[in-house]
Chain A
Amino acid sequence: MQMPSEKIVASTDLYSMKSSTIRTPDAEARPVRVKAREVCVFYGPKQALFDVSIDIPEKAVTAFIGPSGCGKSTFLRCLNRMNDTIEGARVTGRIELDGDDVYDASLDVVELRARVGMVFQKPNPFPKSIYENIAYGPRIHGLAASKAEMDGIVESSLQKASLWDEVKDRLQEPGTGLSGGQQQRLCIARAIAVSPEVILMDEPCSALDPIATAKIEELIDELRENYTIAIVTHSMQQAARVSQRTAFFHLGNLVEEGPTDQIFTSPAEKRTQDYITGRFG
Chain B
Amino acid sequence: MKLSGWGNYPRIECRGQSFETVSELRKMFAEALETIPRGMGKSYGDSALADHVIFTRRFNKMLDFDRETGILTCESGATLSAVLDIFLPEGWFLSITPGVKSISVGGAVAADVHGKNHHRAGCFSECVIFLDLMLPDGRIMRCSRSENQDLFRATCGGMGLTGMILNAAIKLQPVASSSIDETIVRCSNLDAIFDAFDQYDKTAYSVAWIDCLAGGSRMGRSILMAGDHSNSGPLDPPRAPGLSVPFDLPGLCLNTWSVKLFNELYYRKSPSRPEHRVVSIDSFFYPLDGIGRWNRLYGKNGFTQYQLILPPEAGKKGLRRILHRIAESGAGSFLAVLKLMGPQNNNLLSFPMAGYTLALDFKIEKKLFPLLDELDNIVIDHGGRLYPAKDVRMTRSVFQKGYPKWKRFVQLREKYGLSNKINSLQSKRLGI
Q: Is B a genuine binding partner of A?
A: no
A residues lining the B interface (CB < 8 Å)? none
